[in-house]
Chain A
């Protein structure tokens, strides 16, 4: 199998283009997705190829255009709505939580909202607090929607297709630091990736490092560093934040007996807390030490580079947490 080197941004672009070409019900809508080419340049050139009907520039009105997307989905379309960052998605929470997530249930299964919402998330680009938070857990809390976090080129290329095929709303979180990342994408006829399972990104026997999205590469770097000291880490990329793939986590814990969870969200009441609770519920007698969390410091993400770095999970902090759990 041959592979080619592309960026995460290009993978997203290709996935969008494939979806638009493959199904005339698909359209893209959001702020600056058209002539500007998307805040992170993922939709560059699409308006020239598909026209204004299918690549729709929306005014600054998250609640309005997400609501329009829900309406279009109800009417049989397959909208992809792009929200610039998760911070702005809070303006559309009412539409997402009260409408998109509930309508199947409230209609007794008569209505279906096959909507995909993409949004950027996370810190690391010096965009300051209002553009840098990681609020994935707000959405992962809500029944009725699926939440995924593609951390690799393959997932960026393949998850959109599966999300569009899903009869219910799917939210795709793209970490803002990933767009420029380059990686190998194996050539295939079918790029679709599942949106429900976790992946073992690195296999190991001493300790399990559980993470997702923009923290995956930092966690892999920590694992490489620990390997030099003979500590053999297993790294789990959650990929799906709702539902969470418990089976993969617990199978790993049965092998390693120790866990560190790396989550760029804040520590309090977050995804790391949820995963830790599941481990103590389901794998308590496998544990050989307390479950540790490496999360963001509980401040609005700072603007200066050194403070932004200090506020978010980094390889050295992850390695230190792993050593503490391992008692060495």
Chain B
């Protein structure tokens, strides 16, 4: 039996509010399944499990504010015997100061698909159907009102519940992104970065003309919705570079650099009117450019509209921030702790450049690499940039 805990979705997160369970006790879960939604400073986040098994017991109710690390549920591994007494056992609170919570037995809000089907010949309102499902009332035992309709009042009469006015059921809604909360989260992370991380910076100007020509040729053959933005090959080149420089890909924890065994590139995504969020594209070095384009589109959509997953917020190993068109030529990015490196790209603009002794117009981009001097030195950063430049210069090889 393993404990499924409230994950930490960023260095600054202290607690999250459980919005809903997407699985009910007794259901089988697989690694990667989304089983709950938690509201955080970064909006509503979908929480995944990292093992296979059966969701044995749920210990938190929707609406509760739960500290990072508190057990949310127990997951029984495949083959592990069911332990009935577990249900009666109260989990030990991690600290006495925490707000008490009652271990809930199985009574999640049923999802729409869990409602009983409508009964032919009987007019039953949607709210009445939901109430019968929640109280396991057999609809065939219900008596319709004088107008032949079974509504809330008929079901309430049958289950002995209070008549109208019916209380609104406590179904907490996701708050959406709160601009003030997000600002505080960014402030906390960036203050920590500037307080703890001795940054060094190396910068190069890279000729993106081959890349832009290659993209234009590829896009000419494609329907508009399938066209690639340069963000996708840029992400692939950055991911491949981090794979090649494992000493820059990872986290700085307890006074030492811990290399990561995957390359999960956090993407700095602007959220309109709110700020910035850096969810990661997992194993970015293992996807081709088209897949990365799809993943990027999906990630941006979810970052702005909700539906980011816990793994995307907690498993980044390095970050890419790309200002994009019509912005600024360059930036000095700040590392997202506990990571040790970030790549910052300015806009691509046409400027004079010398090629084979001639001044010609080329599409140039300034790339700045910021490294954590506790983990690496400027020379490594420069080698990284040089490698990245060579990948970007030969787009057909990406």
Residues of chain A whose beta carbon lies under 8 Å from any beta carbon of chain B: 205-206, 232, 247, 251, 254-257, 284-289, 327
Contact = CB atoms under 8 A, between A and B. Distances in A.
A36 to B, nearest CB: 42
A254 B115 contact: no
A205 B164 contact: yes
Given A288-B152, A289-B151, A327-B149, A232 B125 contact: no
A34 to B, nearest CB: 39
Contacts of A289: 125, 149, 151
B151 A288 contact: yes
Contacts of A205: 164-166
Given A286-B127, A287-B127, A288-B128, A257 B169 contact: no
A251 B175 CA distance: 13
B171 interface: yes
B164 A285 contact: no
B166 A257 contact: yes
A285 B169 contact: no
Contact of B129 (A247, A251, A257, A285): A285
Contact of B127 (A206, A232, A285, A327): A285
B165 A285 contact: no
Contacts of A254: 168-169, 171
Nearest to A284: B126
A287 B129 CA distance: 10
Interface string B132-173: 000000000000010101011100000000001110110101
Interface of B: 112, 115, 125-130, 145, 147, 149, 151-153, 164-166, 168-169, 171, 173
A240 to B, nearest CB: 17
Given A257-B127, A327-B147, A285 B112 contact: yes
A122 B322 CA distance: 51
State the 6 A-B residue pairs at the shortest beta-carbon distance, nearest first: A205-B165, A255-B168, A288-B127, A288-B152, A288-B125, A285-B126
A206 B164 contact: yes
B144 to A, nearest CB: 11
Nearest to A290: B125
Contacts of A247: 173
A128 B387 CA distance: 77
Nearest to B147: A327
Contacts of A232: 165
- Which of B112, B127, B151 has the largest number of chain A CB atoms within 10 A? B127
A286 B126 CA distance: 7
B151 A285 contact: no
A233 to B, nearest CB: 11
14 contacts: A205-B165, A206-B164, A247-B173, A251-B173, A254-B168, A255-B168, A256-B165, A285-B129, A285-B130, A286-B127, A287-B127, A289-B151, A327-B145, A327-B147
A284 B145 CA distance: 21
Nearest to A257: B127
A255 B153 CA distance: 14
Contacts of A251: 173
Contacts of A327: 145, 147, 149, 151, 153
Given A327-B149, A327-B151, A287 B168 contact: no
Given A285-B130, A327-B147, 14 more contacts: A206-B164, A206-B165, A254-B168, A257-B127, A284-B112, A285-B112, A285-B126, A285-B127, A285-B129, A288-B127, A288-B128, A289-B149, A289-B151, A327-B151
A287 B165 contact: no
Contacts of A285: 112, 115, 126-127, 129-130
B152 to A, nearest CB: 5
Contacts of A287: 125-127
A218 B210 CA distance: 68
Contacts of A257: 125, 127, 152, 166
Nearest to A204: B165
A232 B164 CA distance: 10
A18 B87 CA distance: 66
B275 to A, nearest CB: 20
A247 B175 CA distance: 11
Nearest to B125: A288
Contacts of B126: 284-288
A288 B152 CA distance: 6
Contacts of B164: 205-206
A289 B129 CA distance: 12
A232 B168 CA distance: 15
B281 to A, nearest CB: 27
A206 B164 CA distance: 7
A133 B241 CA distance: 66
Nearest to A108: B326
A101 to B, nearest CB: 20
B185 to A, nearest CB: 23
B337 to A, nearest CB: 34
Nearest to B131: A288
Contacts of B153: 327
A278 to B, nearest CB: 15
Contacts of A288: 125-128, 151-152
A327 B112 CA distance: 25
Contacts of B125: 257, 287-289
A232 B166 CA distance: 12
- Which of A251, A254, A285 has the largest number of chain B CB atoms within 10 A? A285
Contacts of B147: 327
Nearest to B110: A285
Nearest to B171: A254
Contacts of B165: 205-206, 232, 256
Contacts of B166: 205, 257
Nearest to A326: B164
B149 to A, nearest CB: 7
A129 to B, nearest CB: 38
A234 to B, nearest CB: 10
A205 B164 CA distance: 8
